[in-house]
Amino acid sequence: MEQFKKGEREEQRRKAENEENAQNEENAQNEENAQNEENAQNEENAQNED
C-alpha cells in the first residue's frame, strides 16, 4: 500500500514537472517569436525611414 502511494506521488510529481517544462518551453517560444516580430518590425521601419 505504501509502495503504491509512493509510486502515485512520484507519477504526480513527474506529471507536474512535465507540465511545467512544457509551459516553460511554450513561454520561451512565445517570447522568442515576439522578439523576432519586434525585430522584423523595427527593421522594416528603419528601411522605410531611409
DSSP 1: -
Residue 4: pLDDT band with limits 50, 70, 90: confident
Q: What is the pLDDT of residue 1?
A: 76
The rounded percent of the chain whose pLDDT value lies above 90 is 84
Position 29 scores a pLDDT of 99
CA distance 15 to 11: 6
pLDDT-based confidence at residue 50 (cuts at 50, 70, 90):
confident
- pTM score: 0.75
User: For 15, how many CA atoms within 13 A lie in the half-sphere containing its CB?
Assistant: 6
Distance CA(24)–CA(19), nearest Å, equals 9
pLDDT tens-digit map of 6-38:
899 999 999 999 999 999 999 999 999 999 999
- Alpha helices, DSSP H, located in 1-50: 2-49
